[in-house]
Homo-oligomer: A and B are copies of this chain.
Amino acid sequence: MSGPVVWHDGAWIAAGEAFWPAADRGALLGDGVFETLFWRKGAVDRLERHMDRLENACAAFGLTCPVTRDQLGDLAAELCERNGLTLAALRLTVTAGIGPRGLDRDPEAQPSVLLTAMRRTSPPSSIALATSRIRRSPTSPAAAYKTLGYTDNLAARREARQAGAGMALLLDTGGYLSGADCANLFWMRSGTLFTPGMECAVLPGTVRAAILDRLPVETGAFGREALVGAECVFVTNALMGAVPVSALDGRAVATGSGIPGSIAEILD
A residues near B (Cβ < 8 Å) are 6, 8, 15, 18-24, 26-31, 34, 60-62, 89, 91, 93, 95, 101-104, 114, 116, 118, 133-142, 147-155, 157-158, 161, 173, 181-182
Contact = CB atoms under 8 A, between A and B. Distances in A.
Identify the 3 closest CB pairs spanning chains A and B, nearest first: A149-B149, A149-B151, A19-B19
A27 B29 contact: no
A268 B136 CA distance: 39
A135 B137 contact: yes
A21 B27 CA distance: 10
A23 B19 CA distance: 8
A182 B24 contact: no
Contact of A157 (B23, B104, B133, B152): B104
A102 B102 CA distance: 29
A97 to B, nearest CB: 12
A147 B194 CA distance: 34
Given A20-B24, A148-B149, 15 more contacts: A20-B27, A27-B148, A30-B147, A31-B151, A61-B154, A61-B158, A62-B158, A89-B101, A91-B101, A135-B173, A140-B140, A142-B142, A142-B151, A149-B151, A149-B152
A15 B20 contact: no
Nearest to A155: B141
